[in-house]
Each structure stands twice: as C-alpha cells, then as structure tokens.
Amino acid sequence: MALSDLASVHRNEEGIAAVLGILKQRFGERLQTGQAMREQHGHTTTYIPNQAPDGVVWPESTAEVQEIVRACAEHRVPVIAFGVGTSLEGHVNAPGGGVSVDTSRMNRIVAVNAEDLDCTVEPGVTREDLNHYLRDTGLFFPIDPGANATLGGMAATRASGTNAVRYGTMRENVLSLTAVMASGEVVTTGKRAKKSAAGYDLTRLLIGSEGTLGVITALTLKLQGIPQAISGGVCPFPSLDAACQAVIATIQMGIPVARIELVNALQMRAMKAYSRLDYPESPCLFVEFHGSEASVAEQAETFGMIAEEQGGGPFLWTSVAEERAKLWKARHDAYWASLTLRPGAKGLSTDVCVPISRLAECVTETEADIAEMGLIAPIVGHAGDGNFHVLALMDPEDPKEIALVEKFVARLNERAIRMDGTCTGEHGIGQGKAGFLRKELGHGVDVMRTIKQALDPLDIMNPGKILPAQT
C-alpha cells in the first residue's frame, strides 16, 4: 500500500473554525487545540505520517457526543472517534482535519447482570478495567488483543486476540450497541437477549466499521465464567511447518484449546532475550487450556502427543498461575522484544488470516519472502484461527526501505487473498490496507460505499478510512 494510494479528504477551513468556536464555548477546557495534544490523537503505530485533528474534545455522555456530531454535521467537519490509540492501520489519523472525540471520560460500567452473563459499559472502559471490576463476580470478558484497548475501540475495529480460538472475536461477544450516527441521532441496535431475528443486524454493521458510520457510546457484552482450572505451556518444534501441522491436528481433533499461539525462531530469539525465557531458539507454540482440573490435564497430555508426532516437544505445561502469567506476559511483549532485533528501527506490524488448512503453506512462503528480501521480520500468530502477524523492522526515514516493506506487505496480502483468506484478520483496514479491499471483496466494496453514503451522506464520520480512493 503506497502512501500515494491513500484516500484524499477535502479540508473545510471555514467549517473547522466555526466548529472549534462552538465547541470551545460549550466544552471549555474539555476542548484542546494544542499541537502536542492534537498530534497525540493523530497517533498511528504504522509508518503512515501523523495527520493531526484540529481539536480534541472529551465528552462525558451520549448527549454530549450528539452535540459534537450535530455541530460537525452542520458545518461539514470530520469526526474521528478515539479510544486509546492502539490501532495499527492509521485509523485515528485526520487526513481532512476535524475533531477527535476522545471517549476516555465515558468510562462507566453501567450494569453487570451476573445471572445473564452480560454487562453494559461505556466505550472508554478498557478490557483490563472491566476484568478488574468483574473479578469478584466469578466472570470475565475474554477478548484480549494484547494492548489494553478501550471496549469501544475494540468493537469499532472488530478486535480479537489470543483467546479468539475458543471465545470468538468482538463480533461474537457484543449483544448490542448504542451509537450516535452522522445525523446526530442515537441508535440502539438491540436488547440483551442472546439472539434475535428482528430486522437487519445493525450491531454487526457497526462492529468493524472503524468509526466510519457512527460513534459508539455504549456496549452490551457477553461475559464468561472464570474457568475452574487453567493449564498451559510452551512447546518447541523443529520447523514452522511442524508447528503449524500440530495446530491443524489440535483443532481438527476438537480439543477445546483456549489459546494456541505461534512464534517463529527469530521471534523466539527476541523473546528469550527480552523476557528471559529458557526455551530453545526454534519455532514454538504457546498453548493454554481452560476447564476442570481433570480436563485441562487431559487436554495438555493429548496436545503433547500431537506435538510429539510432529517431532516437537517436550511440552512442559503448568497449572501454576504465576508461571503461566510469565509466559503470556512474554507473548504480549513480543512487539517490544522484536524492536531489540534492530535498535533504532520502527516496526510495521501487519496481519493476515487464512483457512487453517493453508496456514503452514502461507507462513512458510512468507518466511521465504522475508529471507529473499533481506528483511528482519519476526512472525507471531493466533494460529488456531489461521491468523498471523509479521513485524517488519525498517528505517522510516529511508524511502528504499519503505518501498521494500510495502512490496513485502503487498505480497503477503495478495498471498492470503489468493488462499481464500483475508488481508487483515484483526488489524482492520483503516488507511493502510484500503488498497487491498477490492481485491478481497470485489463488488462488495461498492455495497459498502452505498451504505456509507446512505448513513453518512456528508462523509464526516472518519473520512478516508476503509473505502479505497475512487479513481
């Protein structure tokens, strides 16, 4: 995806000035226009240049979000919803300027319905905040994208993570949403019932819409019971192919694995040094099982036999919480560990997802590309879903390196699509992957554009994201 392919967005200077005046009068110090604050809210963890909004406003209720959106709609000014800025494809950049709506003060847990295993929260609640609040109820929210993201942002980007193989993604775990649409009207997409056949599925329309259709102001989420017992460990393999084959066998045998994470040898080298792990510098699977004490022991033993058949092992597993926490802390710190492989470089994190039967082939071909191009690019993956990530380390000031990494990412995306997969399993489209959407979905992009035009005719909701530029 070349930067020249990014959708351009008209800048409405007169409208922006008018809206900033209106919001300053209404919100006072809750509107900030300082450069540092604006750049923080144009933050992107990709190499895509920072495109700062013109102002940042902190609403504290759905009604206040309505006021902001109505003012922006009247003057045709962009609205960019902001959680904590952990998205990876330029989602919160403001290519046409406008107003960043920071939802961090909308951080109330509205209700927990323990008997029904659900809760309602505002969008600024983070997943860690929610689970801390729930810890005495015997319940937890399982979606774990690694970063301590806000739940509103997780819904907007259809986040998933390490637990998705057992518990699903945000798509499966949001019962309903409340959102302020581009017109300023409030829409609630459903009730708390676990299923419904009432009309269009507006909940799933907004999940993954990346703020291009509305601003999420409340979510009703499914909860899970905390497992009686958890076991897990790390298992080395002689090759990436062997590790992938073990994943395929585990899933096909119906073992209810909760997490099964792949790291290649280069990633393991970085993690060993950064997190002080004592494991071989080879491809490894990080595995975790949830259930009763007897079932997690049985699952671990069965997985150990599968690994042995592929030349892997020994699989050393534990049910001691502190030991498991160290392993998963190392897995979640993989990004920071990877940066130590090339000090001073910046990482471009990209992901794809393929049918699990094609995972070994896709990962192996990707490693061959990395070697051919001379890149330093470790691989980690939510292997049970066929989803993996590559962090290509590069000098963001070197145009030749940027072009090389763009070429690598394009090859990876096209390979995944060719294998009947997707150019993004969980990072989303944002700006960075818009150029690949039509290759994946064809005429479906035109249907998306029709929906966008119907619900946001003035194109004020996070413009320049998801939909590729029209030519």
CB 319 within 8 A of CB 299: no
| Core vs surface per residue 450-469: b (16+ CB within 10 A) or e | eebeebbebbbbbbbbbbbe
Measure the CA–CA gap between 103 and 211, rounded to whole angstroms: 12
DSSP 220-280: EEE-EEPPSEEEEEEEE-SSHHHHHHHHHHHHHTT--EEEEEEE-HHHHHHHHHHHT--S-
**pLDDT the model gives residue 199:** 94
**pLDDT the model gives residue 1:** 46
Which pLDDT tens digit goes with each residue over 386-442? 999 999 999 988 999 999 999 999 999 999 999 999 999 999 999 999 999 999 999
Token look-up 């145009």 returns 399
**pLDDT the model gives residue 83:** 95
Give the strand pairing for 284-291 and 229-236: antiparallel
Reply yes or no on whether the pLDDT at 6 is more than 70.
Answer: no
Mean pLDDT on 157-183: 95
Measure the CA–CA gap between 368 and 415, rounded to whole angstroms: 13
Closest CA to 151 of 121, 180, 171, 116: 121
Mean pLDDT on 132-154: 94
Mean pLDDT on 92-120: 97
Mean pLDDT on 304-315: 94
DSSP at 28? G
pLDDT-based confidence at residue 4 (cuts at 50, 70, 90): very low
Which pLDDT tens digit goes with each residue over 261-279? 999 999 999 999 999 988 8
Mean pLDDT on 280-296: 94
**pLDDT the model gives residue 49:** 87
**pLDDT the model gives residue 320:** 87
Measure the CA–CA gap between 57 and 282, rounded to whole angstroms: 48
CA–CA distances in Å: residue 315 to residues 231, 382, 430: 12, 18, 39
Model pTM score: 0.93
Name the percent of the chain lying above pLDDT 90.
87
Q: Which H or E element spans position 202?
A: helix 202-206
> In DSSP terms, which residues pair with 428 in a beta bridge?
none
Mean pLDDT on 51-60: 97
pLDDT-based confidence at residue 463 (cuts at 50, 70, 90): very high
**pLDDT the model gives residue 21:** 97
Name the percent of the chain lying above pLDDT 70.
98
Reply yes or no on whether the pLDDT at 101 is more than 60.
Answer: yes
CA–CA distances in Å: residue 412 to residues 110, 235, 262, 463, 465: 42, 27, 17, 26, 21
**pLDDT the model gives residue 5:** 56
> In DSSP terms, which residues pair with 176 in a beta bridge?
220
Measure the CA–CA gap between 45 and 429, rounded to whole angstroms: 14
Q: Which H or E element spans position 41?
A: helix 35-41
Measure the CA–CA gap between 183 and 242, rounded to whole angstroms: 53
Mean pLDDT on 167-191: 97
Reply yes or no on whether the pLDDT at 179 is more than 70.
Answer: yes
CB 221 within 8 A of CB 173: yes
Q: How many CA atoms are closer than 13 Å to the CA of 412, on its beta-carbon side?
A: 33
CB 468 within 8 A of CB 5: yes
DSSP at 126? B
Pick 5 or 19 by higher pLDDT: 19
pLDDT-based confidence at residue 471 (cuts at 50, 70, 90): low
φ, ψ (nearest 5 deg) of residue 403: -65, -40
Q: In what order do the strands lie in the sheet with 118-121?
A: 109-113, 118-121, 214-222, 174-181, 186-188
Mean pLDDT on 47-54: 90
**pLDDT the model gives residue 377:** 97
Range list of β-strands (E), 309-447:
316-318, 346-353, 379-382, 387-394
Measure the CA–CA gap between 460 and 124, rounded to whole angstroms: 22
Closest CA to 181 of 149, 207, 217, 151: 217
pLDDT-based confidence at residue 470 (cuts at 50, 70, 90): low
DSSP at 227? P
Mean pLDDT on 331-353: 93
Which pLDDT tens digit goes with each residue over 235-263? 999 999 999 999 999 999 999 999 999 99
**pLDDT the model gives residue 278:** 87
Q: How many CA atoms are closer than 13 Å to the CA of 179, on its beta-carbon side?
A: 28
Mean pLDDT on 303-325: 91
Give me the domains of the chain, ranges plus CATH numbers: 10-104 (3.30.43.10), 109-225 (3.30.465.10), 229-330 (3.30.70.3450), 337-441 (3.30.70.2740)
